[in-house]
Amino acid sequence: MAHAQTKETVSVSINIRARSGQRDLIDQAAERLGRSRSDFMLEAACREAENVLLDQAFFTVDAGTFAKFQALLDQPLPPTDKLRRLLKTKAPWEK
């Protein structure tokens, strides 16, 4: 019985050039995760590609819905204790 290969199952080669320092950094991170360089790079590249595409999402709404949305954006949040704490909290990379 023949196994039909689809576009999703056919492996293709992707070649990139990198500086040795970049390769070493990638290898170090991949090794920490117990992954191969190729698996690590492919996962990271696909994750970033998905983020880029998701950031490009385009929504179409009618004029009335857009006006309501714009009005919500123009209204400041009420000053609650929870909001004050959030605004005073340092980001993890600032700690």
pLDDT tens string 23-49: 999 999 999 999 999 999 999 999 999
pLDDT higher than 60, residue 1: no
Task: State the pTM of this model.
Answer: 0.54
What tokens appear for 13 in the block?
């080669």
Contacts of 33 (CB under 8 A, 6+ apart): 40
Which of helix, strand or coil describes residue 85?
helix
pLDDT band at 5; cut points 50, 70, 90? low
Structure tokens at 19: 């500086």
